[in-house]
Amino acid sequence: MYDRLEEKLQSGFRCVKLKIGAIDFDKEMELIRHIRQAFPSGQVELRVDANGGFSPDNAMARLEALAQYDIHSIEQPIRQRQWAAMANLCRHTPLPIALDEELIGTNERDRKAELLDTVRPQFIILKPSLHGGMAGTREWIALARERGIGSWITSALESNIGLNAIAQLAADIYGPRITMAQGLGTGQLFTDNVPMPLEIRGDQLWMATDQK
């Protein structure tokens, strides 16, 4: 993970996300400590994603441990569908919590509003292919904005066609000069992709208008 981080930083990235909660937490903390010693928060924005790997019993202690290292946010610290426990974490957390999997399957506007009003996360993360498409994503973000909740958009495993559409959606929602790092780099995971004039320059996704 550390080698991959160095590789991304050398490519010009200044915001990275680490998956945690899958191995020994002490070893993950060792890695984060090592990263922060080498790359202070002014140089690298560090986000972590627990994918529901913590339990309601140990989550707060782990959030407090992570908060020592200037973490931007943590995604889904505990499993979804535990609204009361998640709300308690969001209310007392020492670092911002972002909901991701929690939003999947909640498609009615009133139910979305109920979730946001109950849990009150600091951020929500939208994958259009999992969160109701373009219209569903816009609705989630509009409801979040009404409540002072931040958001960003990420891609799942779309081809370049889908990635292009999601990038345009993000630009339309947040404006052409987006300041919050989005998660639109998954096209690099493919060994074979639909050809499109998309390219990553530093830590930004561009459409190369000089290509045909």
What amino acid positions are annotated as catalytic residues? 19, 127
Residue 192: how many CB atoms within 10 A of its CB? 5
Beta bridge partners of 17: 47
Q: How far apart are the first and last CA of the chain?
A: 37
User: Token pair of 18, please?
Assistant: 């680490």
Q: If we measure between CA atoms, which residue out of 60, 105, 96 comes closest to residue 78?
A: 60
Look at the block and give the residue holding tokens 């993000």. Answer: 170
Cβ atoms of 164 and 207 within 8 Å: the answer is yes
